[in-house]
Amino acid sequence: MADMQSFCLVILVAAAALTPAQSSQPFAGRWDLTVTTPKGTYPSWMEFSENGGSPQVRVVGRVASVHPATEVKLEGTHLAFSTMEWFEKEIPVTWEMTVAGGKITGRQKRSDGVEGQLTGVPAPALQRKAPAAWGKPESLFNGKDLTGWQPFNTKENHWKAENGELVNEAAGSNIRTTRKFEDFKLHIEYNCPPKGNSGVYLRGRYEVQVEYEPADENDKFHGMGSFPLQFRYRRGRESGRPMT
């Protein structure tokens, strides 16, 4: 995110892969969800697993980190659970869904009265061999201007090139690369001010936390260098997502 006083990046290229668990349970594994409401359509994410025969669900809503669901109930091909999601404030949300033919359909109800339709497909397994060799590092920032970078909202953009660094001067728009990558390695150097809170998103989904907040202000999943799973923007298939 870009809510910080200043943020400097120098980025080189690089790679990653995830492999979901296999199971006969039709809900098992990770799912890419789409939520359609009268106020708009946005992506979400769910992971289903079982522990000692008890169903467990982790969710990412419209924003924020992955978090466990409560009141999880599984009856055959029907799954229901509750979560707290952020829509300008924390709001209780109930989820109900059915799986058939490797696809999920269902509905989401928020305590503020907004209802949404759910659809879901299995998240890409990304089961692929690692590259035999990596190419030479390529700089994503030329040290002079924002060539190769695109703010999500130009009216709220506070990013600029300054003294050979990519700097964000105030809270506002996030910025992303215009190039797209499949397998890559990533090297980052940053300077985050006191009480700054930012991050680097891989493919718009996985955030490397960057923050200089007081010790113990955040849990271990949100401290410097942690890797909370988050969503910020509508996604495509992972292998073709721009890195932000």
How does pLDDT run across 121-135, given as a tens digit for each residue? 999 887 888 888 888
Instruction: State yes or no: pLDDT of 80 exceeds 80.
Output: yes
CA-based nearest residue to 183, from 126, 226, 136: 126
Enclosing H/E stretch for 78? strand 78-86
Task: Find where tokens 């229901």 sit.
Answer: 80
Instruction: State yes or no: pLDDT of 88 exceeds 50.
Output: yes
pLDDT tens readout for residues 38-70: 988 988 999 999 999 899 999 988 877 789 999
pLDDT tens readout for residues 139-177: 999 999 999 999 988 899 999 999 999 998 888 888 999
What pLDDT is attached to residue 39?
85
Domain ranges of the chain: 1-18+128-244, 29-122
Euclidean distance between CA atoms 23 and 118, whole angstroms: 23
- The mean pLDDT value for 222-240 works out to 42
Long-range Cβ pairs for the range 105-112 (8 Å, 24+): 106/79, 108/35, 108/37, 110/85, 112/87
Q: What CATH fold (topology level) applies to the domain 29-122? A: Lipocalin (2.40.128)
- Phi, psi (degrees; rounded to nearest 5) at 73: -130, 125
